[in-house]
Amino acid sequence: MTDPALEALLAAHVRLLEGAVAVPGPTGTACDLEGLVFAAFAGGVAEFRLGEAVSAAALRTPDAKASARGTGWVRFAPRRLDARARDRAIAWFESAWRHADAELAGATDEPDEGEDGPDDDDDDDDEGDDRAT
């Protein structure tokens, strides 16, 4: 059995996240930032859309599993909403909000491939190379 206090905790916390909106629906409440849903909750279950590294770590914690919502989504259904479960819920909720904000700003967690950068093996850029050949 899950703890319905999780829904109350997140409903109260959404007000603290700039630009976040809680939208009640027939199957629970969805939280979005500028139309991008980053979390959802109903009763004692919450789902968070996390970045790749955070979701991988979250899936190794108690009461968490992959969500049917898709890649990066984690379903959290704590049997008891103790201090650790509350901390995880708030941390993942805020992380999901930050991830949505970064995505909307065009920032990503993943490095750009094919761009000139530290991992670029392109030998075309000989700028500053004055050695004679």
Does pLDDT of 24 surpass 80?
Answer: yes
pLDDT at 3: 53
Q: Residues 40-78: pLDDT tens digits? A: 999 899 999 998 899 999 999 999 999 999 999 999 999
Q: Residues 99-124: pLDDT tens digits? A: 999 999 987 655 444 444 444 444 44
Long-range Cβ pairs for the range 124-130 (8 Å, 24+)? none
Rounded CA-CA distance 55/91 in Å is: 12
pLDDT at 107: 75
Mean pLDDT computed over every residue of the chain: 84
Number of Cβ within 10 Å of residue 92's Cβ equals 24
Query: How many helices (DSSP H) and strands (DSSP E) are in the chain?
Result: 3, 6
Rounded CA-CA distance 96/93 in Å is: 5
pTM: 0.77
Does pLDDT of 39 surpass 80?
Answer: yes
Does pLDDT of 82 surpass 90?
Answer: yes
